Amino acid sequence: MTITIRKANTMRYMVRFTVALVALAAMTFAVSTTAAAQNALKGVATPSSATEDECIAVLESDAAWQPKYEACTRLRQVGTEKSIPALASLLGDEKLSHMARYALEPMPYPEATDALRKALGKTKGQQKLGVITTLGAKRDAKSTKAIAKALRDKDATVASAAAGALGRIGTPQSNAVLAGFARSAPDSLRDAVAEAQIAGAEMLVRDNKGNLAVPFLTALVTDEREFVRLGAYRCLASADPEGATALLTKTLAGDDALARNFAAQVAAELPADMTKQLAAAVPALPPAGQAALLRGLGDRKDAAAHDAVIAALASDNKEVKIAAVNALGALGTGEDVPALAALLASGDADLAAAARLALGSVDNRNYDEAIAAAAGSAS
């Protein structure tokens, strides 16, 4: 009887032990499969080695902000189509929308861009601004129409972001939208829209569609704002170098002194490979235009303009001659010292003063000898 009872007790203990082991195994499995979520709930940040599934588990849990932030950061590196729904669910979240976009932006999957497009119509304020910015960064042409509506958003920051996004998208359609809106844009948005127009034209040039950018840029080079004109000229020089040079020389040949001075500034800042074209335009310009362009060429400090500057040094026009001397101060070498030194003996005080300054700028090799020679000829 005693033996029977002992066997029964032993069996009962074994059953209990087995049940306990099974329960422990189940608990261990549950913990291991939701480790990221459990850690997140405890405030433990998602490790940089976390898998995509673990990161998704964190985003779908009641975890605090920090673990979800870390999960989004990790998903930017390892995320696939699988993580898009979890990330999309955060696009309207005040605290995590920016991190969800951070993860979605580089994803090459159409579903990621679709999620952002859908969020555009459901978000507002900073979240809407962020979604628009990300769609612009992805250059999503399909978003053009929806983003165009945001140009008239009551929130000026959202409207400004919409302009910027359309510029980054940079298609003929998005550029046309900006050009149309610019005609009636409120004063608070005019600068942002103009900057976006130039950015959009630059995108067309980058996409080897510079010919399509020319009409937009041609309209901008006559804008009353200097930064707009300058940006448009620069871009036009890349989109249509010959056209830009022709437009510039036309301005230099005009009667507007302010416009000529601006054209000289533009000439100084155009791409390096345009120096020869600009230099070749000098002789055909009227004296005031020649002087302005010589100033621009001097500011470029490109030796490719040297011959044109030397030729202008022989001009009968005082303004042109002084502009050439000033340019030679920036472009000249020791070989030009004699020609400049000879001007020190000029009967024109202004020309002599310009030559003296130029001599202080050029390579001073043979400087003393040249000065002495000039002094001797003067006596």
- Judge whether residue 2 has pLDDT over 50: no
As a whole-number percent, the residues of the chain with pLDDT over 90 amount to 69
Q: Are 340 and 314 in contact (CB under 8 A)?
A: no
Average pLDDT of the residues in 172-199: 98
pLDDT value of residue 365: 52
Average pLDDT of the residues in 29-37: 42
How many whole angstroms separate alpha carbon 250 and alpha carbon 7? 112
Lookup: tokens for 356: 């003296």
pLDDT tens for each residue of 317-327 = 999 999 999 99
Average pLDDT of the residues in 210-222: 95
pLDDT value of residue 111: 98
Of 217 and 371, more confident: 217
As a whole-number percent, the residues of the chain with pLDDT over 70 amount to 83
pLDDT tens for each residue of 119-139 = 999 999 999 999 999 999 999
- Judge whether residue 377 has pLDDT over 80: no
Give the other-Cβ count within 10 Å of 205's Cβ: 21
Average pLDDT of the residues in 75-103: 97
- Judge whether residue 379 has pLDDT over 70: no
pLDDT value of residue 346: 81
- Judge whether residue 76 has pLDDT over 60: yes
214 confidence band (pLDDT: 50, 70, 90): very high
pLDDT value of residue 364: 56
pLDDT tens for each residue of 264-279 = 988 998 888 889 999 9
pLDDT tens for each residue of 347-371 = 899 999 999 999 888 765 555 665 6
Domain boundaries, the chain: 34-111, 332-379
pLDDT value of residue 373: 61
- Judge whether residue 179 has pLDDT over 90: yes
- Judge whether residue 180 has pLDDT over 50: yes
108 burial type by CB count under 10 A (0-12 exposed, 13-18 middle, 19+ buried): exposed
Q: Is the whole model's pTM more than 0.85, yes or no?
A: no
Cβ neighbours of residue 72 under 8 Å, at least 6 residues apart? 55, 59, 87, 90, 96, 99, 100, 102, 103
Find the farthest-apart pair of alpha carbons in the chain and give their distance in angstroms, rounded. Answer: 145
Average pLDDT of the residues in 170-187: 98
Secondary structure (3-state) at 44: coil
Of 181 and 2, more confident: 181
pLDDT value of residue 39: 54
Q: How far apart are the first and last CA of the chain?
A: 145
Q: Are 355 and 341 in contact (CB under 8 A)?
A: yes
Cβ neighbours of residue 33 under 8 Å, at least 6 residues apart? none
pLDDT value of residue 311: 96
User: Hunting for tokens 């628009």 — which residue is that?
Assistant: 132
184 confidence band (pLDDT: 50, 70, 90): very high
